[in-house]
Structure 1
Amino acid sequence: MARPTFRVDAVLVQAVIAGALSFAHLHELADAAGQTGWKAWAYPISVDLLLVAAWRRLRSDGPSRLAWCWFLIALFASLGANVATAGFLDLAHPPAWLRFGIAGWPALAFLGGTLLAHTHTSEEREPVRPAPAASTPGPEVEREPTPDPLPQRAPVTAAAEDIPELAPAAPAPAPPPVPAALVDHARKVADDHHARTGARIDTDTLRARLGVPPQLADAIAAQLT
């Protein structure tokens, strides 16, 4: 079984070194400003926690003025402690503004941590609602113009003598003669159709099967009934 190999991350080592030095410098600065005992150790913890909270807000919610503001404040406090303990300030006799800043830092850090934890961005307070879908105009239906009503005419009374006499209807043409052989053949076709379909053959089907004109088909159908 292969043993797990441990790789040293140079960035992680550098972060640990920078964090330890910044922590020590903040402790020295707070102790020089009159914050002794456990209070001097609480100041670097407060600065580092505010720096981490602001960075996590930037990573999770994206860039915002609130997160950038408190990130820069915490970074300035950490960087200022590193520079101040490098001999730029007389820590044996710290100036009044340094004492004022160290004394007011707890309230400032509490305010920043509260805002970062409980303040939401405008996008979270007011979610963007999707725009309503534009209605597609349907095809315009052309309406037919309404015809004007016909003018009413006065009833026309015609005299009895003016009405022409109707001509007698022409007699119906006699059906064409049907050969007996054709009638027998049509009967066989009708019987075959009835055997296959179970229904009587109609005139159109009989005419199509025999290939005869409509009048002849009617005459054959009349003889089959």
Structure 2
Amino acid sequence: MGALPVRIDAVLVQALIAAALSFAHLHDLALAAGQDGWKAWAYPVSVDLLLVAAWRRLRTGQAKAAGWCWFVIALTASLGANVATAGLLDLKAVPDWLRILVAGWPAVAFLGGTLLAHGEATDARTTSKGSASRSSTSEAPTSAPELPAAETGTAAPSSTPVPPALVALARKVADEHHTRTGKPIDTSTLRARLGVPLPLAEAISAHLT
């Protein structure tokens, strides 16, 4: 099989060139402001990461005000470095206010990144809780259906057939209990005397009334 032809994306190449130039301008400005060594290289990384985080927030976040705020701040820092290194600023005599801005940028970038990340996690939890609440509300029945008496384990007295002979025997037991105690027999006592299940005892009691 022959090698697949390599297609060059002009937009991607342009984006890489622009990113490299912006990176170099930020590095040069940080170096001129007294941030030498690895620190001068860390500044453009910090600006670009904040720019990407803000853009991601705008694309996927719920509340986009914070995303726009930090996107503008990062974009201003990037554009400011590009303009400052275009010959409008003497990099050998950087003013004090610019040195202060460059020195304070790490704290600003850290604050922005933390707020963007924390806000995104909060939105995700809120959305998850809202979805779970809506799901439980929609799945929960409005009212519990009433099961027939036969399914609850206790049958209604009128639905349980009772043999006439058993009713006659129960009546004798009830009369004897009333003669001895002066009170009508209750269902529990009748059940114990006859040795029948509770549903059947309840049905018999209904025939005795």
TM beyond 0.5:
yes
Does residue 49 (structure 1) correspond to residue 49 (structure 2)? The answer is yes
Q: Which amino acid aligns with 1:4?
A: L
Measure, in 2, the Cα distance between the counterparts of 1:122 and 1:24.
36
- Aligned-pair CA distance for 1:60: 2.1
Indicate if the aligned counterparts of 2:55 and 2:67 stay in contact, CA closer than 8 A: yes
Q: How does 1:1-225 map to 2 (within 5 A)?
A: 1-61=1-61, 64-120=64-120, 124-125=125-126, 127=130, 130=134
Matched AA of 1:22:
S
Unaligned residue ranges in structure 2 (runs of 5+): 143-209
User: Equivalents in 2 of 1:60, 1:119: separation in Å?
Assistant: 12
Contact 2:22 2:78 in 1 (8 A): yes
Deviation digits for residues 152-185 of structure 1 (CA, Å, limit 9, x no counterpart):
xxxxxxxxxxxxxxxxxxxxxxxxxxxxxxxxxx
Q: CA deviation at 1:5?
A: 1.6
- Give me the whole-angstrom Cα distance separating, in 2, the residues matched to 1:2 and 1:81: 47
Change (3 A) 1:62 1:5: farther
Question: Which residue type is aligned with residue 21 of structure 2?
Answer: L
Moved more, 118-127 or 37-46: 118-127
User: Could you tell me which amino acid in structure 2 is paired with residue 26 of structure 1?
Assistant: L
2:54–2:71 Cα contact (<8 Å) kept: yes
1:2 and 1:38 mapped to 2: Cα distance?
Answer: 45
- Deviation track 1:73-112 (CA, whole Å, cap 9, x = no partner) reads 1111011000000011121111111001000000010111
TM-score by length of 2: 0.58
Query: Percent of aligned pairs with the same residue?
Result: 66
Return the alpha-carbon distance in structure 1 between the equivalents of residues 4 and 40 of structure 2.
41
Report the RMSD for the aligned CA atoms in angstroms: 2.2
Q: CA deviation at 1:122?
A: 5.3
For 1:37 and 1:109, the matched residues in 2 are separated by 19
Instruction: Please give the per-residue CA displacement for 1:124-167, whole angstroms capped at 9, x wherever unaligned.
Output: 5262765x78x9xxxxxxxxxxxxxxxxxxxxxxxxxxxxxxxx
Name stretches of at least 5 consecutive residues in structure 1 with no aligned partner.
Answer: 136-225
Q: Aligned pair in 2 of structure 1 residues 32, 61: CA closer, same or farther (>3 Å)?
A: same
Over alpha carbons, which structure has the higher Rg? 1
Amino acid at match of 2:95: P
> Partners in 2 of 1:98 and 1:72 — Cα distance?
18
1:91 corresponds to which letter in structure 2?
A: L
Letter matched to residue 3 of structure 1: A
CA distance in structure 1 between the aligned counterparts of 2:61 and 2:113, rounded to whole angstroms = 15
- Counterpart CA distance in 2 for 1:57 and 1:122 is 11
* Bigger fraction of residues in helix: 2
State the alpha-carbon separation in 2 of the partners of residues 90 and 66 from structure 1. Answer: 34
1:2 CA drift (Å): 3.9
- The answer to whether the Cα contact below 8 Å between 2:29 and 2:84 also exists between their aligned partners in 1 is yes
TM-score using structure 1 length: 0.54
